[in-house]
Amino acid sequence: MEEVKVILRTADQTRKAEVTLAREKTGADVIQAAVDNWSLATDTDYALVNFSSGKSLAPTGLISADLVKDGDILEVQPVLVAGI
């Protein structure tokens, strides 16, 4: 099983960890693991961004080699819904 070692952090950088991810995981899997392990607010939705490349990772897309490389910083960002 192919893996990639990355830095995973929240957008406010209050949580940060070096993690190893299986390439078969999706963006949604990584987000869910961050929510569970870091006890992030469950009344918020999150998106995943590769901070190092400036590209986002789709929730349904795999953590493939063309999108994520060893040492990249992945950021879990809130999906903001308020506007009024």
Applying CB under 8 A, among 23, 33, 45, 72 the residue interacting with another protein is 45
Separation of alpha carbons 84 and 77, rounded Å: 21
Please pick, from the candidates 7, 19, 51, 72, the single residue that binds another protein as defined by CB under 8 A.
Answer: 51
Shortest distance (Å) from residue 61 CB to another protein: 6
Render 37-76 in DSSP notation, one character per residue.
HHT--TTSEEEEEETTTTEEE-TTSB--TTT--TTPEEEE
When asked if residue 49 is in the footprint of another protein (CB under 8 A), the reply is: yes
Does the footprint of another protein cover residue 40 (CB under 8 A)? no
* Residue 16: its H or E element: strand 16-22
The site for another protein (CB under 8 A) is made up of: 11-13, 27-28, 31, 43, 45-47, 49, 51, 54-61, 67, 75, 77-84
